[in-house]
Structure 1
Amino acid sequence: MTAHHLLPESMRQLPLPWSDLTGERTRRLEELEHTEANEQAALEALRTALSTPPVPTEGGVWNDESWELFDRIRRETRQLLARTMPTTEEFTREGVASVLEEWARTAEPAVPDWWLEEHIDLICRLSARHVLSQWAHDVLRWLQQETHDASGVAAVAERCVDSGLAPRQAVDLLHALGAPYGEQALLRVVREARAGEDSRSWARETLVRLRRPGYRARARQPAQGEEPLLPPAVRELPYSWGAGFRWPADLPESEENIARARAVLQALAPAEPLREPVPDPVWSGDEDEESPGWLEVRKVMWDFMPYARLVTRERMSEALRECALLGIPGVPQDPDSEEGTRLVRQWVTWIGGWMAGEVFTWLGMYVDDDALVTPWAMELAERYVRCGLAAEQAVSLLRWHDTVPRSREALARIAADPTLPPQVRRQAAL
């Protein structure tokens, strides 16, 4: 009877430990000496796995229940599959089918025979992809521990990312290699569309970590001679972007601090309503929801410009060029283009909005003396609400000081104004 092998033909000829599909592979690799010869053998094993197209997994559309059942099969049959087919040569469709048949006889809860028969081909392909990915993960992790030929290792790891073969571990290996070979490979991954978006996203995050020392070195340079993008009163703030521009809870209610808060809010107050809302600085999307691209931009920006005094046109341009280099979606290649100029204005507005929101929070939560904030804070809060900047925090300030008639009057006007967003009106009406 002809066996239907599930792994590439060239992989079936690999010697141990590279052909091992059992849990012993981890131990064997841990004990394997990191010689140049063994490194070349590992690279050749990966090249062998990459020499044929990825195992196809299309051909069936499963609902959530079917995917949950497959995940259960994978968990409960992992050890049995390894015992039955311990090497790359022995991993076959017939072997997988036999294991599933044996497992199904005692599985609790039971699995319908018809389901296994109908989906056996897709189960085999998915199982092969999983086995291959786990195998590649272990080999890449072994390579990461010590490297002789950094250029060769980086080239193979880059191919793994592009092919979707244990891409996360391959990206981690490139990060460990660092400059120049690992960094150059990661830059190609993020800028070229060969790898999947999840892999490119992880590569971008990894590159930011790798290049962060350079960002922080730039941040330590004084902004002398650069064009500031925030008003003078705002540039004096000592609170960092990395801490969300938060004002300390134990900051004294001194005349100096109250005056600084007032000056910042007056300086940042918009002259007219914003065309687009400022996003909440704390993104709280669902677990399976794709995070917005601006979060990636912010990770770069706050390293270049950790304090308000460093928010300059020159650094903003440098940060945007870096974001474009990292392949972050939505960032133009030229920060001086019309689109780049618009993006700079948008980010300056967002930064100002986040700063103003923290000032309102401090004045509301931590300033107990109503007389210190009446009536100017109430007037500014209503102005911010009507312009759509830091509206939630401005309404919160009014509510924290709702024993003051000016606050209650402003809340009533906001709650009754049909031109304002419903969520803001509801917050004011509570």
Structure 2
Amino acid sequence: MGDAMTEQRELDSLRAVLAALPPSSPGWTDELWDLYEAYETSRSKGRRLPEVPAGQVARFEAMWERGQLSDSAHKLLRSLRERVEGGGLADPVAAAGVAVRLVRSHVASHDAVYLLYTLEVPHGERGLLDLVTDRSINEGARLWACERLFALRRAGYEARGRLAPDGEEPLFPDIVRQLPAYTAGVVDPLLGPVPARAALEALLPPTALLVPEPPPPWTVGWDEVDENEEFRPDWLQVRWLVRELMPTPKSVTRERMAEAEKECGALGLDGLDGGEGDFATLWTTRIGAWLVEEIFEGLTRLRDVMDLDPRFMDLAEEYVRRGMAVEAARALMLAQ
């Protein structure tokens, strides 16, 4: 009874935070953030508070109040999460509802999303499903919600990936379907030159691609932004999804591509992000491009210890012209 009463008080306190929030203020500049930090430091150390520029007082006070309320929300959400982990909540539906409202109000979004993740299925999952398709919320919070939703559903993707593709329509020719799992990150160079050449010939696109594949490696940290202040592209997360559902070339089928496309919608992901064609065509091409990269990388290592058939160089040149696995193809051509 005491735990339930404490839980109710914490939920009521979070509702009070939501009710007390001042309107979000536009134009919160770097200068005002610096002033905010100086203000907080001075206040905590009992020093004289810095002066707020004329005309900025109302905006600054509103943001300061929002910051204080956000700090309270962080503590309350962490306490609720500990209760979930310690045995559950008496009212998970109410907790999930409050968490979703906090994210949409741009308050303690990270902790609110994490509470939803901790609540799991069904209540936390429902909340995350609502958030990942809501483009009005902070993009960083939406991506975090998408990542946590993916984590909740990942076991289901893995289980699907372990099923044999019996009766499903393959999207790769037979020689490609015989290749090892592409999720391993490398195709064994001991495949031998004949199977490798046959696979490269089968994967060569009939014409030059309008958009080079695969996309360039993402070198920015997962939770960071790139030099143009853009968050990580959706295709990175789609690749995770595709890998779980189709862990081997043999499991790349039309049925699983349809499942992946549907799941992208549920996760709030743009399945065609940066690509061309329909979903199945794009991702079959993209997976093929990663396979080609691995084959070329294996052949490049082999070239250090043996002579390769000159036809591999011809194929590498053709891949460069057609815009697939260009860097790996060039590396093979330049290897000594």
| TMscore range, shorter length | 0.7 to 0.9
In structure 2, what is the Cα distance between the partners aligned to 1:277 and 1:128?
Answer: 49
One-letter amino acid matched to 1:319: A
Provide the residue aligned with 2:35 in structure 1. Answer: 70
In structure 2, what is the Cα distance between the partners aligned to 1:219 and 1:212?
Answer: 10
One-letter amino acid matched to 1:378: M
Alignment of 1:111-260 (within 5 A): 116-146=53-83, 147-241=89-183, 243-244=184-185, 246-247=186-187, 251-252=189-190, 256-260=191-195
Provide the residue aligned with 2:244 in structure 1. Answer: 303
One-letter amino acid matched to 2:67: H
Provide the residue aligned with 1:292 in structure 2. Answer: 233
Provide the residue aligned with 1:312 in structure 2. Answer: 253
CA shift at 1:60, angstroms?
A: 4.5
Aligned-partner SS, 1:45 = helix
1:380 corresponds, among 293, 315, 335, to 315
CA shift at 1:145, angstroms?
A: 1.1
Check 1:56–1:390 CA distance in 2 against 1; reply closer, same or farther (3 A cut): same
After superposition, give the CA deviation of every residue in 1:251-289 in whole Å (9 maximum; x if it has no partner).
55xxx5222322221111122111221143521352633
Aligned-partner SS, 1:209 = helix
One-letter amino acid matched to 1:134: D
After superposition, give the CA deviation of every residue in 1:172-231 in whole Å (9 maximum; x if it has no partner).
001000011111111112234453332222111110000000000101110111111112
Does residue 46 in structure 1 map to residue 21 in structure 2? Answer: no
Does residue 58 in structure 1 map to residue 39 in structure 2? Answer: no
2:298 corresponds, among 348, 362, 377, to 362
Deviates more, 1:345-354 or 1:285-294: 285-294
State how many pairs are aligned: 324
Aligned-partner SS, 2:80 = helix
Check 1:74–1:284 CA distance in 2 against 1; reply closer, same or farther (3 A cut): farther
Provide TM-score, normalisation by structure 1: 0.69
Check 1:388–1:59 CA distance in 2 against 1; reply closer, same or farther (3 A cut): closer
Of structures 1 and 2, the one scoring higher in RCO (CA 8 A, sep 6+) is 2
In structure 2, what is the Cα distance between the partners aligned to 1:298 and 1:40?
Answer: 41
- Structure 1 unaligned regions, length at least 5: 1-32, 84-98, 105-112, 333-338, 402-430
One-letter amino acid matched to 1:55: P
One-letter amino acid matched to 2:329: A
Q: Is the 8 A contact 1:320 1:331 kept in 2?
A: no
In structure 2, what is the Cα distance between the partners aligned to 1:330 and 1:240?
Answer: 20
Does residue 351 in structure 1 map to residue 287 in structure 2? Answer: yes
CA shift at 1:290, angstroms?
A: 1.9
Provide TM-score, normalisation by structure 2: 0.87
In structure 1, what is the Cα distance between the partners aligned to 2:2 and 2:303?
Answer: 62
In structure 1, what is the Cα distance between the partners aligned to 2:271 and 2:302?
Answer: 39
- Structure 2 unaligned regions, length at least 5: 84-88, 221-225
Check 1:367–1:34 CA distance in 2 against 1; reply closer, same or farther (3 A cut): farther
Check 1:362–1:214 CA distance in 2 against 1; reply closer, same or farther (3 A cut): same
Q: Is the 8 A contact 1:272 1:387 kept in 2?
A: yes
Aligned-partner SS, 2:182 = coil
In structure 2, what is the Cα distance between the partners aligned to 1:247 and 1:340?
Answer: 26
Q: Is the 8 A contact 2:15 2:98 kept in 1?
A: yes
In structure 2, what is the Cα distance between the partners aligned to 1:130 and 1:325?
Answer: 32
In structure 2, what is the Cα distance between the partners aligned to 1:302 and 1:389?
Answer: 19
Check 1:34–1:175 CA distance in 2 against 1; reply closer, same or farther (3 A cut): farther
